[in-house]
């Protein structure tokens, strides 16, 4: 039997503090924001790397976005992934979770045989958590979301996963191949392996695919393949703390605090 | 374009997918019934509750009391425990058969697990983790408010041409309706047509407990050196707010709180909606643990305390005096509203 | 076989020992070099995984491991003759029931033994052992090198990868947004460094982001302004110096940070950089690649020059009993015990009291060596011992000159103690705010 192959979907996202809303066009201005790997996706990659340590096999990293994402994918290689795929085409742009999951699923099928697709539970920009179940549906595989622990029984082609549910957790047994989304913060992503840095620059390690390469119907990807539209965006109250000083006698102070935090106190 | 399986012209009705645990409806499901009632009234259409599971107890009746005009019940022993694919198939079939205009789910782990898969199977749009919902009755368009980028950006999302318009909604956003036991509604038991192929994933064990988890707490009351070992008022407030107690390294060192409740660099990084910091000076090794909170209240006698740099609302006063008043006023307000 | 660090074959190793023995004029019966002693030593080492099987009556180390460790430590441990002064002097001995066996760590480094005991991560790189080592072994350097190997084996402690990622993504070990780096200088209206000013004031990550330490940076600004110093700051462009990374044991990455930082400093034409933290100073002095005329100074060193040249005069009277806690990275690591003391002494009214352990023998606060990012049990903190020493002096203030020292000491002040912690810059700023002493009241 061949070796286990894990595909990790990773998104590059702008640093939250640096994204601004362009008040004229009512669109997000990400151009000046520095980018990072979506933190939950780092947890997914770390989980894949731990499985690779235990079972051997190889890891492919998959991302969708502009060409500059390539240098982030090389970071994943430096952490121990074996190769990377970047889906880069204007036709993919503006996709919602429907279009995104369609595109990623098409790429996964093109990459070939796999046992596991790992994703972070959600992205820090969109925070929908809907892409992993979407990929699983397009691929027709079982899904496990919010996984805290993952064990692979490669020989019997199945996995055991502990996943979060409301107020607790449950242990699942699922056949491979499967799509698993990894709960944020379940592990500490390893730092770059400096000894891998020269290797990770290798030309043939990152494959870039366009919509044509993928052979997807252009009606199913990007804006065209999406069902939702953005009605408007706004900057919520600045991330900076308000630092509003409240003064008075303790009972006045308490009353003023309650007026201000009332929105956070749901009736119970 | 990827088309949904039916369009706006055929769609009618607001549906709420109801989650229950041992026959008791989840609070977010009740909240959605309240909001769903409002949306259905605006659209002049019925509100349908959708219950899938086994041993559902009085959940169907309770859904009616909380605003549902009809409750579709699919009850089967094999559906006692939630797994993705059987539930997806059941809801998918019902939706295709009855063509709802709006389908709401709670943004719980299972609600989001189901919604993501179902939306793709229905080839429709899904607005995830909404913090607000409004409806345009003319265009019959649901608009969901979502926050992104760690809360920095608010966007409204619409699904103009695909049906149903799906949304998952964050728990705790909408108020639970008062149950009206006299309300009339239809409870329809529907047959479960299950496909063995959907039962690929097995739940081996499940444990639901109320053990504290600071990382998931919605509200945290945090104490520091200024608490001087007296946590009674902080605990009283935490009880009233359904909050978790946390604290600084000093508070943990001195044994006032268990180590698992230590917040910060070498403790837990929290991301609650609200954190109330009492008697905490605000060293960076603590504040990194509260930076992701949506709102920070700080109470400290020292006006120079660095914690105030990290707080939205700053009170320079004795924490015990302020906590006592806070607890009293919250309890007082509760007593009035019943 | 010869590596960049000399002959590291087994024969070469033996030669190294012999050289060391010759140099040290070791008596023949010294434990480490007699046949019996060697056997005993090898038996000790046999308990460590990775050591190969007995070969006759002598255990033999794996040559590849030997080379790896010797190369990583640059042979620094070779001089050690296992006297054990390091173990005896290590401050952990004062707080832990079990001593931390520094001697053994060094021995393992000499012998090429793998395995990463907790002790590798306990070291605060305070340098107390190095200062007293009769063979002058740079023990902190050896331990950092061992940490480097442990990183390669993925044996680093929990928290350190996050620390490094924080520096990687955010440019500071706290994971705070880069766009908030200049928050500490709000309202001060500080000029951008243009290359023309005398001095680049370098706040460093801790003074930029820790609200407590921001006050120290602001105090330094106040003092520089009082002396009429023309200086600039880098604001959001200020890079991390790499100290936290280097002390976490990742020299490879720290070297990259230093190379990037050097490039920026050269491009900006930095001739004199003044730091708030001695940790940043250490990086600039020893790891940045700068032209010979480049000067890196801790602010206390710069102030001492200003005082000597008459540019800074403190006239305000500040009657205060101060005991000075030597930061390891100003004192032992960079040999300056006098600058902060002279700055304090220049303040009229300040009475300097010395703790039992001071200068070369000063006790570490516990915050170096990356320990700021690891939890230390409450009853095992050096700072508690240090605060107790400080209280014995009768001082009202523990003065220090390092962000980590100030944080650690402040955290260890017992609730019932009246003693407080302040940075030298803060004490100086208090004095500058005081009215001048009435001359008549001063006896000549």
Output the tens digit of pLDDT for each of chain A's 268 residues: 579 999 999 999 988 777 777 767 666 777 778 899 999 999 999 999 999 999 999 999 999 999 999 999 999 999 999 999 999 999 998 889 999 999 999 999 999 999 999 999 988 777 678 999 999 999 999 999 999 999 999 999 999 999 988 878 899 999 999 999 999 888 999 999 999 999 999 999 999 999 999 999 999 999 999 999 988 887 765 457 889 999 999 999 999 999 999 888 864 4
Q: E-strand spans in C160-237? A: 199-202, 231-232
Chain A residues within an 8 Å CB radius of C156: 191
Helices (H), chain B: 27-43, 59-65, 84-98, 109-121, 232-241, 249-253, 284-287, 319-337
What is residue C103's predicted lDDT score, i.e. its pLDDT? 86
Dihedral of CA A12/A15/A16/A20: which sign? negative
What is residue C397's three-state secondary structure? strand
Provide the pairing of β-strand A229-235 with B70-75.
unpaired
Cβ neighbours around B178 below 10 Å, total: 10
Is B213 in the A-facing interface, judged by CB distances under 8 Å? no
* Confidence check: pLDDT of C216 > 90: yes
Of C252, C248, C254, C287, which is closest to residue C372 (Cα–Cα)? C248
Question: How far B266 CA sits from the closest chain C CA (Å)?
Answer: 6
> CA–CA separation, A250 vs B320, rounded Å?
9
CB-based contact C86:C139 (threshold 8 Å): yes
Q: What is the pLDDT of residue C353?
A: 98
Q: Which of A173, A233, A253 sits opposite B315 (nearest CB)?
A: A253
pLDDT at C109 over 80: no
Token code pair at residue A119:
């994703």
Give C211's contacts in chain B (Cβ within 8 Å): 282-284, 287, 306-307, 309-310
Q: Where are the alpha helices (DSSP H) in C123-210?
A: 128-132, 139-152, 160-170, 204-209
Q: What is the pTM of this model?
A: 0.85
Q: Residue B150: its pLDDT value, please? A: 60
Cα–Cα distance for residue pair C239/A192, rounded to 1 Å: 20
Q: Any idea which residue has 């994703």 for tokens?
A: A119
* Rounded CA separation C86/C102 (Å): 6
Interface predicted TM-score (ipTM): 0.89
Q: What is the average pLDDT across C170-190? A: 93
Question: What confidence score (pLDDT) does residue B171 get?
Answer: 78
Which pair of structure tokens corresponds to residue B242?
């359904």
C134–chain A Cβ distance below 8 A for any pair: no
User: Is 70 exceeded by the pLDDT of residue B337?
Assistant: no
User: Which of A17, A189, A194 shows the shortest C-beta gap to C179?
Assistant: A17
Give per-residue pLDDT as tens, B274-332. Answer: 999 999 998 887 887 888 788 999 999 988 888 998 999 999 999 999 999 999 999 88
Tell whether B253 is within 8 A of chain C (Cβ).
yes
For CA atoms B82, B83, B86, B92, give the dihedral sign.
Answer: positive
The rounded percent of chain C whose pLDDT value lies above 70 is: 83
The upper half-sphere exposure of residue A19, i.e. CA atoms within 13 Å in the direction of its Cβ, equals 25
User: Is residue C44 over pLDDT 60?
Assistant: no
How far, in Å, CA of C365 to CA of C382, rounded?
Answer: 5
Q: What is the per-residue pLDDT for B242? A: 87
Among residues A47, A76, A55, the alpha carbon closest in space to that of A4 is found at: A55
In the numeric block, which tokens belong to residue C158?
């929990």
Contact A164 B109 (CB under 8 A): yes
Q: What residues of A are in contact with residue C168 (Cβ under 8 Å)?
A: 191-192
Measured CA to CA, the distance from residue A209 to residue B180 in angstroms comes to 58
- Residue A239: predicted pLDDT: 58
pLDDT of residue C114: 61
Kindly report the average pLDDT of chain C as a whole number. Answer: 85
Mutate to test the interface with C, among B228, B284, B285, B291 (most CBs of C within 10 A): B284
Q: List chain B residues with CB under 8 Å of C366.
A: none
The answer to whether the CB atoms of A129 and B295 lie below 8 A apart is no
Choose among C382, B337, B129, B319: nearest CA to A266. B337
Q: What does the pLDDT look like over C198-210, one tens digit per residue?
A: 999 999 999 999 9
Minimum-distance CB partner of A130 among B2, B115, B123: B115
* CA A264 to chain CA mean position, Å: 28
pLDDT band at C29 (very low <50, low <70, confident <90, very high): very low
Q: Which chains touch A (3 or more CB pairs under 8 A)?
A: B, C
- Average model confidence (pLDDT) across chain B: 91
Verify whether the Cβ–Cβ distance B249 to C411 is below 8 Å. Answer: yes
Instruction: Please name the residue that has the structure tokens 């619409």.
Output: B158
* DSSP secondary structure, A136-199, as one string: HHHHT--EEEEEEEEEEETTTTEEEEEEEETTEEEEEEEESSEEEEEPTTSS-PPPP-GGGHHH
C213-235 as b/e: b if 16+ CB within 10 A: bbbbbbbbbbbbebbebebbbbe
What confidence tier does C20 reach under pLDDT thresholds 50, 70, 90? Answer: very low
Task: Give Cα separations from B62 to A212, B98, B111, B191, B217 (angstroms).
Answer: 53, 23, 20, 21, 28
CA distance B275 to chain C (A): 18
Give, for A246, the enclosing helix (H) or strand (E).
strand A244-246
- pLDDT of residue C170 exceeding 70: yes
Choose among A36, A193, A194: nearest Cβ to C169: A36
């Amino acid at each position: 039997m061949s070796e286990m192959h894990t595909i990790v979907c990773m998104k590059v996202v702008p640093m939250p503090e640096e994204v601004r809303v362009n008040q004229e066009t009512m669109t997000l201005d990400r151009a000046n924001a520095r980018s990072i790997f979506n933190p939950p996706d780092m947890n997914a990659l770390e989980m894949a790397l731990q499985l690779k340590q235990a079972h051997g096999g190889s890891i492919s990293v998959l991302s969708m976005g502009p060409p500059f994402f390539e240098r982030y994918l090389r970071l994943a290689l430096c952490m121990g992934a074996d190769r990377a795929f970047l889906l880069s085409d204007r036709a993919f742009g503006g996709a919602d979770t429907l279009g995104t999951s369609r595109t990623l699923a098409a790429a996964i099928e093109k990459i070939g045989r796999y046992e596991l697709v790992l994703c972070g539970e959600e992205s820090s920009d969109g925070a929908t958590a809907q892409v992993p179940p979407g990929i699983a549906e397009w691929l027709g595989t079982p899904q496990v979301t919010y996984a805290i622990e993952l064990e692979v029984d490669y020989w019997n082609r199945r996995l055991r996963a502990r996943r979060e549910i409301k107020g607790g957790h449950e242990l699942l047994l699922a056949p491979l191949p499967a799509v698993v989304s990894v709960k944020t913060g379940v592990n500490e992503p390893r730092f770059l392996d400096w000894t891998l840095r020269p290797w990770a620059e290798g030309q043939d390690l990152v494959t870039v695919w366009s919509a044509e390469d993928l052979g997807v119907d252009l009606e199913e990807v990007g804006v065209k393949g999406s069902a939702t539209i953005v009605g408007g965006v706004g900057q919520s109250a600045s991330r900076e703390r308000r630092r509003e000083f409240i003064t008075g006698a303790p009972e006045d102070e308490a009353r003023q605090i309650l007026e201000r935090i009332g929105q956070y106190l749901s009736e119970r | 374009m990827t088309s949904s399986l039916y369009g706006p012209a055929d769609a009618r009705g607001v549906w709420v997918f109801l989650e229950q645990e041992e026959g008791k409806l989840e609070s977010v499901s009740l909240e959605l019934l309240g909001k769903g009632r409002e949306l259905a009234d605006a659209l002049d259409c019925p509100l349908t509750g959708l219950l899938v599971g086994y041993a559902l107890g009085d959940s169907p009746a309770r859904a009616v009391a909380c605003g549902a005009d009809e409750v579709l019940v699919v009850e089967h022993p094999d559906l006692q425990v939630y797994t993705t694919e059987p539930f997806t198939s059941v809801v998918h079939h019902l939706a295709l058969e009855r063509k709802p205009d709006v389908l709401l789910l709670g943004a719980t782990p299972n609600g989001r697990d189901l919604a993501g898969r179902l939306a793709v199977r229905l080839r429709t749009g899904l607005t995830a983790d909404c913090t607000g919902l409004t409806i345009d009755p003319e265009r019959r368009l649901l608009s969901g408010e979502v926050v992104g980028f760690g809360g920095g950006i608010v966007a409204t999302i619409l699904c103009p041409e695909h049906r149903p318009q799906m949304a998952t909604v964050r728990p705790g956003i909408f108020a639970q309706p008062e149950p009206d036991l006299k309300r009339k509604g239809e409870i329809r038991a529907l047959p479960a047509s299950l496909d063995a192929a959907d039962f690929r994933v097995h739940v081996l064990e499940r444990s639901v407990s109320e053990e504290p988890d600071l990382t998931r707490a919605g509200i945290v009351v945090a104490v520091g050196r200024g608490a001087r070992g007296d946590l009674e008022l902080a605990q009283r407030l935490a009880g009233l707010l359904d909050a978790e107690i946390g604290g600084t390294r000093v508070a943990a060192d001195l044994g006032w709180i268990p180590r698992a409740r230590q917040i910060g660099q070498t403790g837990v990084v929290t991301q609650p909606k609200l954190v109330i910091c009492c008697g905490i000076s605000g060293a960076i090794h603590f504040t990194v643990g509260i930076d992701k909170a949506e709102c920070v209240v700080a109470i400290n006698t020292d006006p120079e305390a660095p914690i105030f740099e990290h707080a939205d609302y700053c009170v320079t006063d004795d924490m015990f005096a302020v906590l006592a008043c806070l607890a009293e006023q919250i309890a007082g307000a509760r007593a009035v509203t019943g | 076989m010869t590596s960049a660090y000399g002959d590291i074959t087994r024969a070469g190793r033996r030669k190294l020992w012999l050289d060391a023995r010759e140099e040290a004029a070791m008596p023949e019966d010294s434990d480490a070099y007699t046949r019996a002693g060697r056997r005993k030593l090898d038996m000790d080492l046999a308990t460590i995984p990775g050591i190969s099987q007995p070969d006759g009556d002598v255990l033999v180390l794996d040559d590849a491991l030997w080379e790896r460790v010797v190369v990583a430590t640059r042979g620094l441990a070779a001089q050690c003759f296992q006297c054990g002064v390091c173990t005896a002097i290590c401050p952990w001995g004062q707080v832990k029931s079990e001593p931390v066996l520094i001697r053994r760590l060094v021995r393992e480094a000499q012998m090429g033994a793998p395995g990463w005991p907790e002790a590798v991560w306990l070291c605060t790189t305070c340098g107390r052992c190095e200062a007293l080592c009769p063979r002058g072994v740079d023990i902190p350097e050896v331990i950092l090198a061992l940490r480097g190997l442990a990183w390669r084996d993925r044996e680093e402690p929990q928290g350190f990868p996050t620390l490094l990622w924080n520096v990687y993504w955010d440019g500071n070990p706290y994971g705070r947004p880069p766009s908030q780096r200049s928050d500490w200088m709000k309202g001060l209206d500080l000029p951008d460094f243009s290359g023309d000013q005398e001095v680049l004031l370098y706040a460093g990550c801790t003074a930029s982001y820790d609200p407590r330490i921001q006050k120290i940076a602001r105090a330094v600004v106040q003092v520089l302004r009082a002396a009429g110093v023309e200086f600039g700051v880098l604001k959001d462009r200020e890079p991390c110096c790499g100290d936290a990374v280097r002390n976490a044991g990742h020299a490879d990455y720290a070297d990259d940070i230093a190379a990037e930082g050097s490039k920026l400093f050269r491009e900006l034409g930095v001739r004199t950089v003044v730091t708030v933290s001695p940790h940043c100073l250490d990086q600039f002095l020893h790891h940045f690649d700068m032209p010979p005329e480049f000067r890196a100074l801790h602010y206390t060193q710069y102030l001492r020059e200003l005082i000597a040249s008459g540019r800074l005069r403190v006239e305000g009277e500040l009657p205060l009993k101060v005991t000075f806690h030597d930061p390891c990275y100003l004192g032992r690591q960079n040999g300056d015990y006098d600058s902060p003391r002279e700055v304090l002494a220049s303040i009229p009214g300040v009475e300097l009291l010395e703790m039992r352990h001071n200068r070369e023998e000063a006790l570490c606060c516990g915050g170096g060596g990356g320990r700021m990012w690891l939890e230390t049990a409450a009853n095992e903190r050096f700072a508690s011992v240090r605060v107790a020493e400080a209280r014995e002096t009768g001082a009202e203030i523990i003065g220090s000159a390092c962000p980590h020292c100030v944080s650690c000491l402040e955290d260890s002040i017992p609730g019932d103690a009246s003693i407080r912690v302040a940075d030298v810059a803060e004490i100086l700023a208090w004095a500058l705010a005081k009215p001048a002493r009435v001359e008549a009241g001063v006896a000549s």
